[in-house]
């Protein structure tokens, strides 16, 4: 199992100073560890490199990986399809002393990681419903069942410790909006490679939609099938976007830092193409931040005219050009989103052909967007 490289799109955009606006994630705990395959000799170490992985969660651990922090990949699944039920633990020995990285994949597809765990000082890795933690278990030594080969693991009937502190599930956040009954659209980079996806509706209810039912890497779009009534669908504009018209964004930028609730910003359509004359995007002056990705871009009549996707990296551009760009952000054109939805068999709603008479205030547009815009959390 190989640690996934950075997405090609993100790498390309980074070279020209563009950052995807979709995810702000707390850094994982700096803890870790691999094991020697059963039956292979273990190299001499300056410490006892045995450790226990304990399942204190409510679901089985389906897969367990660990490798020395200097290695580029995770190596094989150490449970070999056997898994680790709740209330059980397994003992392993690392091939050598040092810092290791650990990863578990749960039976419900959630996953968690610990990085740079020193196996000389940490004797137990505990998995809870909230994540993973590493701790030193008193007593110094971990008993190995008779007949277990050095470096091998064995299930043991030991009770799990109580009161384990939750921690260390890697999370990122983004935004999406309702396009049909039980259907939410967002950016692919918001939900790509998630072990678990959580969608929170405007009324606070949470849903677990599973993996995207349709994804388009070129357009950076993904469709989620939400098991329930998450909100009313937003209406799309039936006509083209014009340069200079007013726009409103609605979403969840920097969730947990700025606000746990939605944020509304206003601006204008600055250009009818994106960076490098990308005709699938438009440029907007409305401010966006990490977490805004996937949110609706609306005209001043409350109709969808795009999806927020990226912002220009002002610091990188300033370093290259000696000047700081202001309010240079990008959205996927609504025509691209509409084509994607039609290909998925979704019949989107449209506003009146001529729009509504007069412009609505930004607050009124926000009232339209609010019940249909959702917060998305990706757990890796």
Q: Could you write out the three-class secondary structure of 177-219? A: EEEECCEEEECHHHHCCCCEEEEECCCCCEECCCCCCEEECCC
* pLDDT band, very low/low/confident/very high, at 18 (cuts 50, 70, 90): low
Looking at residues 21-50, what average pLDDT do you find? 44
- For the record, the structure tokens of 46 come out as 């300056």
pLDDT value of residue 131: 77
The candidate with the shortest Cα–Cα distance to 19, out of 220, 255, 312, is 312
Residue 372 is classified by DSSP as: G
Per cent of the chain over pLDDT 90 is 37
315 touches 25 (CB < 8 A): no
pLDDT value of residue 272: 96
Residue holding tokens 């030594």?
141
Query: Selecting from 2.60.40.2890, 2.30.29.30, 3.40.50.300, 2.40.50.140, what CATH number does the domain 27-156 have?
Result: 2.60.40.2890
158 φ/ψ angles, rounded to the nearest 5 degrees: -95, 140
pLDDT value of residue 39: 35
Strands 304-312 and 329-333: antiparallel
pLDDT value of residue 255: 66
Predicted confidence (pLDDT) at residue 112 exceeds the cutoff of 60: yes
- For the record, the structure tokens of 285 come out as 């002056």
Residue holding tokens 């679901």?
59
Residues 6+ apart with CB under 8 A from 361: none
Task: Provide the 10 A C-beta neighbour count for residue 83.
Answer: 19
pLDDT value of residue 63: 84
Residue 173: in which H helix or E strand, if any?
A: strand 171-180
pLDDT value of residue 193: 86
pLDDT value of residue 227: 86
Looking at residues 31-57, what average pLDDT do you find? 56
Looking at residues 3-22, what average pLDDT do you find? 48
Highest mean pLDDT among 95-99, 262-266, 375-379: 262-266
20 touches 309 (CB < 8 A): yes
Residue 10: in which H helix or E strand, if any?
A: helix 8-15
Of 238 and 380, the structure prediction assigns the larger pLDDT to 238
Looking at residues 49-76, what average pLDDT do you find? 84
268 touches 247 (CB < 8 A): yes
Of 220 and 117, the structure prediction assigns the larger pLDDT to 220
Cα distance from N-terminal residue to C-terminal residue, the chain: 15
Which CATH fold would you assign to the domain 1-26+170-380? Thrombin, subunit H (2.40.10)
Distance of alpha carbon 139 from alpha carbon 64, whole angstroms: 25
Which of 26-30, 147-151, 179-183, 342-346 is the least confident region?
26-30
Tens-place pLDDT, residues 269-291? 999 998 888 999 999 999 888 88
Of 363 and 325, the structure prediction assigns the larger pLDDT to 363
Looking at residues 347-375, what average pLDDT do you find? 89
Predicted confidence (pLDDT) at residue 161 exceeds the cutoff of 70: no
Predicted confidence (pLDDT) at residue 77 exceeds the cutoff of 90: no
Residues 6+ apart with CB under 8 A from 125: 33, 51, 52, 53, 54, 102, 114, 117, 132, 133, 134
286 touches 295 (CB < 8 A): no
Per cent of the chain over pLDDT 70 is 71
Distance of alpha carbon 112 from alpha carbon 56, whole angstroms: 14
Q: List, as one string, the DSSP characters of 86-97.
A: TT-EEEEE-SSS
Predicted confidence (pLDDT) at residue 11 exceeds the cutoff of 50: no
Beta bridge partners of 61: 84, 106
Please state the domain extents for the chain.
1-26+170-380, 27-156
Q: List, as one string, the DSSP characters of 279-339.
A: TTEEEE-S---TT-TT-EEEETTS-EEEEEEEEE-HHHHHHHHSS---S-EEEEEHHHHHH
* pLDDT band, very low/low/confident/very high, at 120 (cuts 50, 70, 90): confident
């Amino acid at each position: 199992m190989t640690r996934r490289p950075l997405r090609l799109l993100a790498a390309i955009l980074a070279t020209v100073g563009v950052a995807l606006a979709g995810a702000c994630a707390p850094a994982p705990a700096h803890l870790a560890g691999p094991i020697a395959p059963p039956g292979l000799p273990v190299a001499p170490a300056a410490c006892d490199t045995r450790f226990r992985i304990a399942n204190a969660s409510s679901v089985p651990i389906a897969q367990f990986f660990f490798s020395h922090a200097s290695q580029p990949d995770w190596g094989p699944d150490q449970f070999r399809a056997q898994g680790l039920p709740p209330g059980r633990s397994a003992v392993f020995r690392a091939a050598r002393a040092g810092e290791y990285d650990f990863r578990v994949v749960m039976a419900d597809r959630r996953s968690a990681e610990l990085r740079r765990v020193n196996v000389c000082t940490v004797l137990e890795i505990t998995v809870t419903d909230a994540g993973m933690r590493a701790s030193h278990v008193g007593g110094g030594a971990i008993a190995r069942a008779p007949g277990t080969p050095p470096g091998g693991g064995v299930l043991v009937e030991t009770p799990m410790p109580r009161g384990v502190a939750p921690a260390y599930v890697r999370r990122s956040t983004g935004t999406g909006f309702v396009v049909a009954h039980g259907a939410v659209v967002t950016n692919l980079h918001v939900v790509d490679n998630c072990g678990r996806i959580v969608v929170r509706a405007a009324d606070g209810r949470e849903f677990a939609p599973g993996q995207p039912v349709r994804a388009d890497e070129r357009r950076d779009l993904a469709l989620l099938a939400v098991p329930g009534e998450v909100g009313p669908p937003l209406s799309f504009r039936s006509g083209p976007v014009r340069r200079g018209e007013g726009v409103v964004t609605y979403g969840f930028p920097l969730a947990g830092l700025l606000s746990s609730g939605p944020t509304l910003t206003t601006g204008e359509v600055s250009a009818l193409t994106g960076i490098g004359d990308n005709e699938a995007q438009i440029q907007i002056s409305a401010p966006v931040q990490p977490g805004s990705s996937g949110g609706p871009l609306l005209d001043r009549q409350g109709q969808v005219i795009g999806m927020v996707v990226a912002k220009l990296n002002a610091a990188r551009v300033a370093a290259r050009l000696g000047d700081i760009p202001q309010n240079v952000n990008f959205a996927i054109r609504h025509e691209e989103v509409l084509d994607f939805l039609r290909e998925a068999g979704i019949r989107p709603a449209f506003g009146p052909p001529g729009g509504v008479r007069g412009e609505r205030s930004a607050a009124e547009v926000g009232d339209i967007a609010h019940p249909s815009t959702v917060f998305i959390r990706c757990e890796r």
